[in-house]
């Protein structure tokens, strides 16, 4: 399998109407904003995309809209998260039918599983589809961590091509890299923590799936593009510039920070699924200052 999971991949928000339907025009506009900004891929209906709020039919619609609008310019990664293996398998097959380029699978949430059960979960999903597949580790959201040994075992499966690590534990990220670096087939380790992208690249990682790219696609793409072109200092400068925006994520319930940032930039992303509400006036002012500090907003 020759698929390369690398670069800056936007963990896209899903624009919604006031009654929580997919805002198709807004979603298509956002796809083009990302691609015009230089990102290397789109990750749709993931955590930033509020996957938990959508019916199966709405997920399919979101996949199809993004795939149609991207028109092959960058790969589209479909989020196929589910609590049970059967649920994730169903979404994986849906993504394949829709024409996605790859899938990403979050660890099961709510339930606690052993590493052996987690291995089988991912192996069964991979066996259900021909698509390249990314593991998605986000222990802060699911309370389930993918151990290094489990990642190494899973990396041997033909269509499991990489892992996104949103743990924020760089020792864990670096161990994923170190233990798969000389694997029999390429295995791509991507940062899921926006403040650690440059560090991940320096350690031998391959890029990031990043929420901040919704807000500043060109700036986020610079972290990767400058690094691989040899401008390590320029990459680090871009990483430093985005830090105030990432630090502002605690000003509201996730992912409202992303949608309110887009609103400040003149892009209508609509509300988040209730109970997540809008930011306070005070918090929005602090967000605005962070965007100005990063050079994203004039």
Q: Give catalytic residues, as residue numbers.
A: 136, 164
Three-state secondary structure call for residue 101: coil
CA-closest candidate to residue 53, choices 275, 262, 231, 236: 275
**Alpha-carbon distance 251 to 245, whole Å?**
10
For the beta carbon of residue 264, count every other beta carbon within 10 angstroms: 15
Instruction: Give the tokens for residue 33.
Output: 């904003």
110 secondary structure, DSSP code: S
Q: Torsions phi, psi of 121, nearest 5?
A: -55, -50
**Alpha-carbon distance 145 to 134, whole Å?**
15
Buried residues in 184-195 as b, exposed as e (16+ CB within 10 A): eebbbbbbbbbb
**Alpha-carbon distance 85 to 207, whole Å?**
28
Is 209 marked within a binding site? Answer: yes
Q: Where are the alpha helices (DSSP H) in 39-142?
A: 56-70, 85-98, 115-127, 139-142
Q: Tokens 């709405």 label which residue?
A: 58
> Which element (helix H / strand E) includes 256?
helix 256-264
Q: Following DSSP, what letter does each residue of 13-35 receive, concatenated? A: ---B-TTS-B-HHHHHHHHHHHH
State the binding site: 209
State the binding site for pyruvate: 209
């Amino acid at each position: 399998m020759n698929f390369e999971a690398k670069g800056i991949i936007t963990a896209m928000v899903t624009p919604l109407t006031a009654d929580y339907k997919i805002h198709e025009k807004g979603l298509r506009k956002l796809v083009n904003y990302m691609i015009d900004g230089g990102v290397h891929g789109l990750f749709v209906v993931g955590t930033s995309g509020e996957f938990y709020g959508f019916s199966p039919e709405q997920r399919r619609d979101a996949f199809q809209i993004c795939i149609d609008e991207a028109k092959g310019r960058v790969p589209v990664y479909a989020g196929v998260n589910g609590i049970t293996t059967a649920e994730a398998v169903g979404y994986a097959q849906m993504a394949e039918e829709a024409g996605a380029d790859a899938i990403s699978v979050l660890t099961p949430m709510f339930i606690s599983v052993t590493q052996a059960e987690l291995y089988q979960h991912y192996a069964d999903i991979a066996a259900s589809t021909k698509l390249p597949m990314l593991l998605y580790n986000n222990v802060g959201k699911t309370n389930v961590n993918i151990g290094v040994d489990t990642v190494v075992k899973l990396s041997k499966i033909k269509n499991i091509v990489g892992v996104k690590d949103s743990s924020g534990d760089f020792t864990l990220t670096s161990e994923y890299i170190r233990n798969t670096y000389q694997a029999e087939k390429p295995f791509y380790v991507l940062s899921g923590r926006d403040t650690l992208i440059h560090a991940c690249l320096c350690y031998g990682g391959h890029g990031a799936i990043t929420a901040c790219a919704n807000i500043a696609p060109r700036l986020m793409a610079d972290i990767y593009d400058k690094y691989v072109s040899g401008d390590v200092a320029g990459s680090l400068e871009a990483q430093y510039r985005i830090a105030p925006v990432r630090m502002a994520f605690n000003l509201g319930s996730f992912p409202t920070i992303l949608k309110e940032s887009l609103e400040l930039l003149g892009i209508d992303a609509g509300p988040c699924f209730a109970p997540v509400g809008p930011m306070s006036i005070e918090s929005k002012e602090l967000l605005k200052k962070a965007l100005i500090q990063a050079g994203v907003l004039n």
